[in-house]
Amino acid sequence: MAGAARKKLVGRYEVGRTIGQGAFAKVKFAVDSDTGAAVAMKVLDKATILNHRMMHQIKREISIMKIVRHPNIVRLNEVLAGQTKIYIILELITGGELFDKIARQGKLRENESRKYFQQLIDAIDYCHSKGVYHRDLKPENLLLDSHGNLKVTDFGLSTLSQNGFLHTTCGTPNYVAPEVLSKDGYDGSAADVWSCGVILYVLMAGYLPFEENDLPTLYDKITAAHFSCPDWFSSGAKSLIQRILDPNPKTRMTVEGIRADAWFKNNYVAHKRGEDENVCLDDVQAVFDNIEDKYVSEQVTHNDGGPLIMNAFEMITLSQGLDLSSLFDRQQEYVKRQTRFVSRKPARTIAATIQVVADSMGIKVHSYNYKLRLEGVSSNKMSPFAVVLEFYKNLCSKLESIIWRPIEVSAKSALLRTTTC
């Protein structure tokens, strides 16, 4: 093997190193052998999808990503099926997350923040015109390409709706609109606009407009839109943000109002919307309707004289999300502990099962090197202790298939021991 180069082909794509990994999929670098273009190939295991009944959710996300064709949205090119895997061919984005840029710089200059905000509004307006509502907009789900242009990604919580009126409570707490926390339903477009306003604030300030140590207080602040802009914000930026972060969705600024705003229009180059591409979902339909027998060729070829190509197994988190543990810890002297259980199942099975259970509870999972972080929102106004304890009980009750001998936790320590879930 030392003198031979190994080349794996999936259809016409030459597959290279692993560049990311989650609970259900790996993302690999690949090259289109017909065009020479580099792409990202997301690889999902069919058995896992079937066993955990994830077909509907994954099919919905893939279909939505094929429908939304915009320069500021990560492009999904096609979907292929092998005998045991599903391959999603995506645009390769190399500039990292906008979140990381903010973390490095602390805050961005006003002109740079405005450019990203303009591109975000263009992308979201396009999504809404297609009946697509993202519902989890935040800097972690905004990527940057090699030219510094913004690309919206992660449509895992998105939905299609003809009238835009939604009921599912989901998203990331600090970015979620106040009406999403109610049980009366909400306008998906207005909720996305609110999240865009929070993102603009974060870009310019370097920190969140709504941040508290416990969820009920955080939700109270969001509902009242209780925030203030730093002194370095220009009057135009302050005015725009205040009108976007209006807790009343009926009077909140719309995308059309944002586009008409003087601050927004500064150096704004609108994306010229031509004729929509004729998007074909036949490949998606074929992959999921005939998951057993529709597949492309998968092969490994060897060429003498070249170096051995090996996977680097780099575990890169694609969407870091929000660590909710700090939201429950009021005092520094609290000792963080972990809730533990014993299982005889393989690590992959444990991680996949937790992912499925979390999805069924409306909770998003972020995975890194077999470490899982659960992220979600609750409209429950009970105390943090009650919310966490209720979550802990519900989670454990649904994990019976993998738990061999659960370790009991007393009510007194439940809050501390479940904050790291």
Residues recognised as catalytic: 136
Q: Which residue type sits at 397?
A: S
Q: Give the whole-angstrom CA distance, residue 115 versus residue 329.
A: 37
The DSSP line for 125-149 is HHHHHTTEE----SGGGEEE-TTS-
Query: Could you tell me how many residues make up the chain?
Result: 421
Q: Is 42 annotated as a binding residue?
A: yes
Q: State which H helix or E strand residue 239 sits in.
A: helix 235-244
- Please give the full DSSP string across 376-404, using - where no structure is assigned: ------S-HHHHHHHHHHHHHHT-TTT-S
Question: Which residue, among 68, 350, 84, 368, has the nearest Cα to 76 in the 3D structure?
Answer: 68
* Cα separation, 320 vs 143, whole angstroms: 12
Q: Which two tokens stand for residue 85?
A: 């895997």
> How far does CA 71 lie from the centroid of its chain?
19
Structure tokens at 161: 């709706």
Rounded CA separation 421/340 (Å) = 10
Residues that constitute the known binding site: 42
Residues that constitute the known binding site for ATP: 42
